[in-house]
């Protein structure tokens, strides 16, 4: 008999979670205006809202926390973190920030101005927010194949090089950098190949434009390169990371993902000019340049988390759990963005709730139904999150319409995953009876999904 695959860790500490009744959930969700961000976490049984800052740290990370140097300036914890980042990425300058969007805020404050254009592959919502709030334009150059959820290709997060070059040609004076998100979260946690990273870099250099990686899940991207891209099967994750970052001038990082901590972020670069500018903004927005909004202990945990998560076994455990959910959904015939991504399964809501019109937000409707069914919290990555067009103020119905089930790192067992799959199966069995969705009764002008108030139709 083949020995089955199992986790590369064992559990040392647990946190109780509680079930609720459907009646309770009906009441709670109504009070939350049908927005799952407004639910108290104790009212959630299995929380797949995000994989950001929600994972479990290792015993080695907790041990490193005790050794944190809390000095205001020159903390040894900063140098430990910086050293690890430089070894993994090859970037020599590091600016700490309290999370990923703070890194965006610091760097974009230096680089992005009104009228600028930032081409990228499905910019994440805060990233798009930081571009659009500066009255610049985010141009999505993700390959068209990414829109076909049933198409199985290995690197669905890739950038369309021709589209990118057209954008560069037309706007060359207005482009502060090209942004590559690895993995591509918004289109399904899909990886970008090393070949594509090389091509993006080459075309950007042709126009003398720097390349920035939004690197929240860079280690997961490296895992997919190792397991899917020819020529990389025998390289270590660390070798692949170093090679990936050769094709960037800098990175922003949400350490809440692939550095496996609950809070943290940073900017890293080899461009002295970016570093000098970012230092000034870091001091204004985040804190002195050797802590940038982080505790010394946080920086130690980031150093250990990065070290651990650039090892194959840790990534394999994680990504195989996501694949396990995918396999269950395949069994039950529930459509999702294929192949399974690195951090989450993105259920194709329009293909499940075929009778809910787009104006009534099928993905949000599915999110609501899943919570009511079993207390599972996913989140909408769709038309509500897409916000309105900044100029026409119309809803943007052009993109993808997903219910995202993000799996926190080292947190749930496959028994929990079985519960999620069964709940989705029940929903899919009665999807013909779900014909109406929701309407918006209040929304913020930007990043509305966090606070939007909805009514059921
Ligand atoms: N970039 C990407 C690709 C992200 O996925 C996120 C956050 C950020 C930047 C911002 O980082 O949260 O530390 O400020 N993504 C989380 C998510 C929130 O649920 O996907 P942050």
- Annotated catalytic residue 34: no
| Token digits of residue 314 | 């840790």
- Annotated catalytic residue 202: no
Residue from 156, 226, 257, 338 carrying the catalytic annotation: 257
Q: For residues 347 and 423, what is the distance between their CA atoms, to the nearest angstrom?
A: 13
| Token digits of residue 239 | 């070798």
- Annotated catalytic residue 449: yes
User: Which tens digit of pLDDT belongs to each residue from 79-111?
Assistant: 999 999 999 999 999 999 999 999 999 999 999
User: Which tens digit of pLDDT belongs to each residue from 128-163?
Assistant: 989 999 999 999 999 999 999 999 999 999 999 999
Residues 326-345 have a mean pLDDT of 97
- Which residue out of 106, 124, 217 has the highest number of ligand 1 atoms within 8 Å of its CB and is therefore the one to mutate? 124
Determine whether 37 is exposed, middle or buried from the number of CB atoms within 10 Å of its CB (0-12, 13-18, 19+). Answer: middle
Index of the ligand 1 atom closest to the CA of residue 49: 19
Residues 416-442 have a mean pLDDT of 97
Whose C-alpha lies nearest to ligand 1, atom 12? Answer: 100
Residue from 108, 124, 177, 213 carrying the catalytic annotation: 124
Q: For residues 419 and 104, what is the distance between their CA atoms, to the nearest angstrom?
A: 36
Q: Is 70 helix (H, G, I), strand (E, B) or coil?
A: coil
Q: Is 181 helix (H, G, I), strand (E, B) or coil?
A: strand
Cα separation values, 109 from 105, 177, 285, Å: 6, 13, 10
Residues with CB under 6 A from ligand 1: 50, 52, 99-101, 124, 126-127, 181, 185, 214, 216, 254, 256, 265, 406
User: Which tens digit of pLDDT belongs to each residue from 353-388?
Assistant: 999 999 999 999 999 999 999 999 999 999 999 889
Question: Does position 390 have pLDDT exceeding 90, yes or no?
Answer: no
Q: With pLDDT > 70 as the criterion, what percentage of the chain qualifies? A: 100
* 322 Cα–ligand 1 center, Å: 18
- Work out the angle at residue 410's Cα, subtended by the Cα atoms of residues 299 and 39, and round it to the nearest 5 degrees: 90
Q: Are 134 and 169 in contact (CB under 8 A)?
A: no
- Annotated catalytic residue 116: no
Higher per-residue pLDDT: 126 or 431: 431
* 49 Cα–ligand 1 center, Å: 12
Q: With pLDDT > 90 as the criterion, what percentage of the chain qualifies? A: 96
Residue from 47, 214, 348, 387 carrying the catalytic annotation: 214
**Structure confidence at residue 121 (pLDDT):** 97
| Token digits of residue 166 | 């057209």
Question: Does position 125 have pLDDT exceeding 90, yes or no?
Answer: no
Q: For residues 300 and 427, what is the distance between their CA atoms, to the nearest angstrom?
A: 43
Q: Is 77 helix (H, G, I), strand (E, B) or coil?
A: helix
Residues 414-422 have a mean pLDDT of 98
Question: Does position 399 have pLDDT exceeding 90, yes or no?
Answer: no
Residue with tokens 């013909």: 432
* 240 Cα–ligand 1 center, Å: 22
| Token digits of residue 418 | 């079985």
Question: Does position 253 have pLDDT exceeding 90, yes or no?
Answer: yes
- Domain ranges in the chain are 22-51+312-456, 59-308
* 254 Cα–ligand 1 center, Å: 6
Quickly count: other Cβ atoms within 10 Å of residue 54's Cβ: 18
Q: For residues 375 and 369, what is the distance between their CA atoms, to the nearest angstrom?
A: 9
* 28 Cα–ligand 1 center, Å: 27
| Token digits of residue 171 | 């706007």
- Annotated catalytic residue 216: yes
User: Which tens digit of pLDDT belongs to each residue from 272-321?
Assistant: 999 999 999 999 999 999 999 999 999 999 999 999 999 999 999 999 99
* 457 Cα–ligand 1 center, Å: 31
Q: For residues 287 and 295, what is the distance between their CA atoms, to the nearest angstrom?
A: 11
* 449 Cα–ligand 1 center, Å: 14
How much is the mean pLDDT over the chain? 97
Q: For residues 440 and 423, what is the distance between their CA atoms, to the nearest angstrom?
A: 26
Index of the ligand 1 atom closest to the CA of residue 264: 13
Examine domains 22-51+312-456 and 59-308 and report if their fold is the same. Answer: no
- Which residue out of 257, 265, 266 has the highest number of ligand 1 atoms within 8 Å of its CB and is therefore the one to mutate? 257
Whose C-alpha lies nearest to ligand 1, atom 16? Answer: 52
For 59-308, the fitting CATH number among 3.40.50.1970, 3.40.640.10, 3.20.20.20, 3.40.50.2300 is 3.40.640.10
Whose C-alpha lies nearest to ligand 1, atom 15? Answer: 52
- Chain length of the chain: 457
- Annotated catalytic residue 138: no
Q: For residues 118 and 431, what is the distance between their CA atoms, to the nearest angstrom?
A: 39
Element (H, E) at 128: helix 125-132
Quickly count: other Cβ atoms within 10 Å of residue 24's Cβ: 12
So what CATH class is 22-51+312-456? alpha beta
Residues 236-256 have a mean pLDDT of 98
Whose C-alpha lies nearest to ligand 1, atom 19? Answer: 50
* 52 Cα–ligand 1 center, Å: 7
- Which residue out of 185, 187, 263, 344 has the highest number of ligand 1 atoms within 8 Å of its CB and is therefore the one to mutate? 185
Q: For residues 354 and 436, what is the distance between their CA atoms, to the nearest angstrom?
A: 10
Q: For residues 181 and 72, what is the distance between their CA atoms, to the nearest angstrom?
A: 32
Question: Does position 71 have pLDDT exceeding 90, yes or no?
Answer: yes
Index of the ligand 1 atom closest to the CA of residue 217: 3
**Structure confidence at residue 148 (pLDDT):** 96
Index of the ligand 1 atom closest to the CA of residue 51: 19
């Amino acid at each position: 008999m083949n020995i089955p695959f199992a986790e590369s860790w064992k559990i040392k500490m647990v946190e109780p979670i509680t079930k609720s009744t459907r009646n309770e959930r009906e009441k709670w969700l109504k009070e939350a205006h049908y927005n799952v961000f407004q639910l108290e976490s104790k009212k959630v049984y299995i929380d797949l809202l995000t994989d950001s800052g929600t994972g479990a740290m290792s015993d080695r990370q907790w041990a490193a926390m005790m050794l944190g140097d809390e000095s205001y300036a020159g903390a040894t914890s900063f140098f430990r973190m910086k050293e690890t980042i430089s070894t993994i990425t090859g970037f020599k300058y590091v600016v700490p920030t309290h999370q990923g969007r703070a890194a965006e805020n610091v760097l974009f404050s230096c680089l992005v101005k009104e009228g600028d254009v930032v081409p990228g592959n499905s910019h994440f919502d805060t990233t798009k927010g930081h571009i659009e709030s500066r009255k610049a334009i985010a141009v999505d150059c993700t390959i068209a194949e990414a829109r076909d959820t049933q198409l199985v290709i290995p690197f669905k997060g890739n950038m369309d090089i021709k589209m990118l070059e057209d954008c560069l040609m037309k706007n060359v004076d207005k482009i502060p950098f090209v942004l590559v998100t690895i993995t591509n979260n918004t289109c399904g946690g899909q990886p970008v190949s090393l070949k594509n990273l090389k091509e993006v870099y080459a075309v950007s250099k042709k126009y003398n434009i720097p390349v920035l990686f939004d690197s929240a899940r860079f280690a997961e991207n490296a895992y997919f390169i190792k397991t899917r891209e020819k020529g990389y099967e025998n390289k270590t994750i660390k070798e692949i990371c170093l090679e990936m970052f050769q094709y960037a001038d800098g990175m922003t990082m949400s350490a809440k993902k692939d550095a496996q901590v609950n809070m943290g972020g940073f900017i890293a670069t080899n461009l002295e000019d970016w570093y000098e500018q970012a230092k000034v903004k870091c001091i204004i927005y985040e804190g002195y340049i050797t802590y940038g909004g982080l505790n010394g202990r946080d920086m130690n945990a980031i150093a250990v988390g990065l070290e651990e998560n650039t090892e194959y076994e840790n990534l394999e455990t994680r990504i195989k759990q996501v694949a396990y959910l995918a396999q269950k959904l395949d069994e039950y015939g529930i459509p999702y963005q294929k192949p399974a991504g690195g951090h989450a399964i993105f259920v194709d809501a329009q293909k499940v709730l075929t009778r809910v019109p787009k104006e009534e937000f099928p993905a949000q409707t599915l999110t609501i139904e899943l919570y009511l069914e079993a207390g599972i919290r996913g989140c909408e990555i769709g038309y509500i999150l897409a916000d309105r067009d900044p100029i026409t103020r119309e809803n943007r119905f052009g993109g993808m319409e997903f219910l995202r089930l993000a799996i926190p790192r080292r947190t749930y067992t496959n028994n929990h995953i079985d519960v999620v799959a069964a709940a989705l199966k029940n929903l899919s069995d009665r999807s013909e009876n779900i014909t109406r969705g929701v309407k918006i009764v209040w929304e913020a002008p930007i990043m509305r999904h966090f606070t939007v108030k909805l009514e059921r139709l």
